[in-house]
Chains A and B, each alone.
Chain A
Amino acid sequence: MSSNTDFLLALESVGVSFDGFKAVNDLNLYIDYGELRVIIGPNGAGKTTVLDLICGRTRVSEGSIRFKNQEITGCKEQEIVRRGIGRKFQTPTIYEDLTVFENLELSVPRGRNVAGALFWKRTDEIIARVREIAATIYLQEQLDRPADTLSHGQKQWLEIGMLLIQDPELLMLDEPVAGMSVSERTKTADLLKEIIKNRSVIVIEHDMKFVESIAHRVTVLHQGKVLAEGDMQSVQNNPKVKEVYLGH
């Protein structure tokens, strides 16, 4: 075990290999409380893999990941979620056969065992909470619509809402504005600024304009390693970053 950490999330010497290919190699990454961190990097740099490692979808081969100074490597996905880490996937991952309301209701962090789900009561408190979140994600008028009838952007917001209702301390978003129209992008940026207030957020994004508009700190990944880290300005002026990523 490595040293104690004051950071919310600390990845130390993390590595993972798939059939000998090192997708992530000796990676160190620290996320502070209340921070909005953007991870950028060329395709295949290991950005999504890093999120997969944090949320337990992929097992680390070496190194340690600590959340609030507790080791989470080896925990199951749902255990990591219950500790306070939420994950949004690259493509909108919502329950298309359920309504918007039901999508959000299922994400309320209560009644998560079989008996709790079987005898679940839709209380006024739950309904109020769902409405509150729906208003945040611009879907208050769509509560009774089946989720598969939403537009692409609305689906992305719905998934963000499903994470918000879990009230995670760390929210991980994988390309939240991919495929969105310009106006949807602006709204999403506003949404992100709104939801970051009480939590830390990790965002993976390609859209540099969008990154500029939201980021506190930027981490550039390249070939499974941190190439550069710092505020937007210093990263953009970093010659190594220009060479592998931004310059093109």
Chain B
Amino acid sequence: MDTRRLELIGIAVIAVLILVLLPLVLDIFRLNLVGKYLTYAFVAIGLVLCWGQTGILSLGQGLFFGLGGYCMAAFLKLEASSVANTKIQSTPGIPDFMDWNQLTALPFFWVPFKSLPFALVAVIAVPTLLAFILGAALFKRRVGGVYFAIITQALALVMTILIVGQQGYTGGINGITDLRTLLGWDIRTDSAKYILYFVCCVLLLGTMFMARFVLASKLGRILVATRDKEDRVRFSGYDVANYKIFVFCLASAMAGVGGAMFTLQVGFMSPSFVGIVPSIDMVIFCAVGGRNSIVGAVAGTLLVNWAKTMFSEAFPELWLFAMGGLFIAVVVAFPRGLAGIMTDQIIPRLPTKFPTWKGFGRGQPGAAPAPAE
């Protein structure tokens, strides 16, 4: 069966799983957790584009995830910090952490976040802009490979330090907490959590289709070509740096949307989702699922996070070892991740009588079929 159709079936399986199956069998607490995992899947899809397809490993995607999340959190926090809600503060009407840090007025860069449209645009625009600046500075100078990975990782760390250090402006190590309502709608209730979960699912599916569109276009093939033979692409008359900037910006915009959905569903945003560890976690999700497969990346994210939750409930202290072991296993034993196992091992062994049924009937997220490279 051709890989494009396989991929479509994979997306359908994911859609049925997250839109129908999981809401039916899970209580809202667990479903909300799945919603949180799905926000990481946005980042993983971005990594498929820029790491799997183009060969640009960014170890700082948490940075963009965090920026999207903070933009959303800024709006929610301002709405939660009305004068009526904060009248016990020495300066009512500003977020509580600012008051604790002796700020007496809202900093200028917080002011536009009073507007929801501005905040929603910023969720995508801020990560994209930063990615653009970074990409333009590095890719135009042909910085790539390990150097790029190290620089992005360092930036993620710098951002964490900045957020923690400037707690009067950012909420510091605690992050931005106590978020309550979105335009008066209480996001902490169960019904709101259901709605936000489905919004997240729809956005994720939209992101998957967008990534699919990009990969199926000639641009997608140029990305693969760049990964293989960058010089040849240049000598075919393409400005390679522009393509890298584009895909890096796109991946970062996706991460930003994921971050915003995280803030909405989890109810806070903190530097622990910005730094090195979450950034590397996201790379692992993507690697486990298969870094060349959109469906694989989503499945991998769900599976690893589900395992993390299960595992850490039973053996809290051992999870990091399990995660490390998993990553080694992926690198050594199945470099193309779950998607590779699916396309190379499972699908060829399925009975060929009902070819259209290949890939169906496997409820496990990890078993979702995967597209080609």
Compute the total of residue contacts between A and B using a CB distance below 8 Å. Answer: 81
- A52-103 CB contacts (< 8 Å) to partner B: 55, 57, 76-78, 81-82, 86-87, 89, 93-98, 102
Q: How far is the CB of A131 from chain B (nearest CB, A)?
A: 18
Stretch at the interface among A19-27, A111-119, A190-198, A232-240: A111-119
Tell me if B's interface is mostly helix, strand, loop or mixed: helix
Mark contacts of B324-352 with chain A using CB atoms, 8 A cut-off: 1 yes-contact digit, 0 otherwise. 00000000000000000000000000000
Closest Cβ–Cβ distance, residue B242 to chain A (whole Å): 5
Residue B5 at the A interface, CB < 8 A? no
- Minimum CB–CB distance from B247 to chain A (whole Å) comes to 9
With A94-B232, A98-B225: A78-B238 Cβ-Cβ less than 8 Å: yes
Indicate the size class of the contact surface on chain B.
20 to 34
- Name the A residues within 8 Å of B234 (CB-CB): 77-78, 81
Question: Contact between B232 and A93 (Cβ–Cβ < 8 Å)?
Answer: yes
Interface string of B229-259 (1 = CB under 8 A from A): 1011111111110110010000000000000
How far in angstroms is the closest Cβ of chain A from B184? 39
Complex partner residue of B225 from A55, A77, A106, A114, CB under 8 angstroms: A106
A162 contacts B by Cβ under 8 Å: yes
Indicate if the CB atoms of A95 and B218 lie closer than 8 Å: no
In the complex, the answer to whether A98 meets B239 with C-beta atoms within 8 Å is no
For B292, give the chain A residue with the smallest CB separation: A97
Which residues of the other chain, A, contact B219 by a CB distance below 8 angstroms?
A: 114, 117-118, 120
What residue in chain B is nearest A165 (Cβ atoms)?
B236
> A114 touching B243 by the CB < 8 A rule?
yes
Instruction: Give the residues in chain B near A118, CB-CB below 8 Å.
Output: 214, 217-219
Q: Does B222 contact A (CB under 8 A)?
A: yes
B228 within 8 A of A: yes
A111 near B236 with CB under 8 A, answer no
Residues in chain A near residue B225, CB distance under 8 A: 95, 98, 106
In the complex, chain B residues whose CB is within 8 Å of the CB of A57: 231
- Bound together, the chains give a CA A119 to CA B238 distance in angstroms of 15
Contacts of A87 in B (CB 8 A): 235
Q: Say whether B229 contacts A166, CB under 8 Å.
A: no
| Residues A78 and B237 in contact, CB atoms below 8 Å apart | yes
Beyond A76-B239, A117-B217, A118-B214, list 9 extra A-B contacts (CB 8 Å).
A55-B235, A81-B237, A93-B232, A97-B227, A98-B225, A114-B243, A117-B238, A118-B218, A120-B219
Q: Give the 8 A-B residue pairs with the shortest CB-CB distance, closest first.
A: A120-B218, A117-B219, A81-B237, A95-B225, A93-B232, A118-B219, A77-B234, A117-B218
Instruction: Give me the interface of A with B, judged by CB distance under 8 Å.
Output: 55, 57, 76-78, 81-82, 86-87, 89, 93-98, 102, 105-107, 109, 111-114, 117-120, 159, 162, 166
Q: List 30 A-B contacts (CB under 8 A).
A: A77-B234, A78-B234, A81-B235, A81-B236, A81-B237, A89-B232, A94-B232, A95-B224, A95-B229, A96-B228, A96-B229, A97-B227, A97-B228, A98-B228, A106-B221, A107-B236, A109-B237, A113-B239, A114-B219, A114-B242, A117-B217, A117-B219, A117-B243, A118-B217, A118-B219, A120-B217, A159-B232, A162-B232, A166-B236, A166-B237
